[in-house]
Amino acid sequence: MKVWTAADVARKVIENEELFILDVRNPDAFTDWKIEGNHFEYLNIPYFELLDGVEDILSQLPTSKEVLVVCAKEGSSLMVAEMLEEAGVQVGYLQGGMKSWSTYVEPIKVSDLSNGGELYQFVRLGKGCLSYMVIAQGEAALIDAVRFPDVFIQFAKSKSVEIKYVLDTHLHADHISGGRKIARLTGATYYMPPKDAEEVVFDYAPLQDGMKITLGSHATEIRAMYSPGHTIGSTSFIVDEQYLLTGDILFVDSIGRPDLAGLAEDWVADLRETLYTRYQMERKELIVLPAHFMAIHELNENGTVAKKLGELFVENHGLQVEDAQVFRSLVTDHLPPQPNAYQEIRQVNMGKITPDDEQQVEMEIGPNRCAVR
């Protein structure tokens, strides 16, 4: 029997391959959040319905491809997989279950930059989070890092660069930021927007509109652009005059929600101003790199999530609303459920509470919900 890792499944997703998943979690958990792939097939049967045997579902399983059994943490999927193997099914199970899928991060190169620089996107497929590392002349800047320091520190070592700057586009509410911890471990400077930091209980360097960070000796420039709306402090970054890192303001297929601090009515005008005025003033050739994606179809062929700003002004439904009142209704009346434990996650990112690793896992379980539907 094959033991699948989250990395194995990630390659299936990124390379657009086929996979049949037997998910043995409860139907509500499966409906809320599952492993997504463009060419994946699914069968959801709760494991407790299979305790007396798997004979009744054998006709629903493919004979020409391997079956991957998935549960929450591994135990139930291993049990079901063993039963299927005894029945002659080509089967494997996901090591660590959906817990491991939620935490896996895949680094993918976006492109080379001027003066020998490089830009990498770190794709957290199970959560829809996107982090970035900009590299030039032995130095690196990390943007919107998720809570796994080793992923980024080891990657920087593999590229022989020192993490000098760690930046968060805003105070995150759907996932725990790794920025502050990574800065502490590496000696890097940690930046965040001061308007999002009024309640934080730690020291930070303030991100100011127009501020520039240069990696190496005049090699690659990162320019901050104040862009409120998702939060009052949300800040975008223009990297090497080629890329626009939009945080949770603008996504490939949607726009950011303004309600996660309970201030949707107050912030919706800022959101519209950023999307319809600030971004409109930028070059349409800039390539948008968001901090999240919502659905698997947003991934490009190489696994990255990226699209030209000009194309989004034509295609993204959140950028097509001419009437300001209609826009207000769009982003305040049609919001999806709020992220799991988002209030507690905000408290963690303010430094007010310090949950242990298991508590952090539970806080983040489930899909991200940063976008307006």
Catalytic residues: 71
Sheet holding 307-308, edge to edge: 212-215, 220-226, 235-239, 243-247, 287-290, 307-308
Token digits of residue 55: 């004979």
C-alpha 305 chain-centroid distance: 10
Token digits of residue 30: 């499966």
Q: Which amino acid would we find at residue 10?
A: A
371: burial class by Cβ within 10 Å (0-12, 13-18, 19+)? Answer: buried
CA dist 351 and 131 (Å) reads 20
CA dist 82 and 2 (Å) reads 11
C-alpha 194 chain-centroid distance: 23
Contact 152, 178 (CB under 8 A): yes
Token digits of residue 373: 């539907």
- Which residues in 204-217 are b (16+ Cβ under 10 Å) and which e? beebeeebebbbbe
Q: Which amino acid would we find at residue 348?
A: V
Closest CA to 106 of 144, 155, 33: 155
Q: Which amino acid would we find at residue 145?
A: A
Please identify which residue in the block is written with the tokens 């992220």: 339
Residues 6+ positions from 352 with CB-CB distance below 8 Å? 199, 201
CA dist 100 and 265 (Å) reads 37
Token digits of residue 312: 């989004």
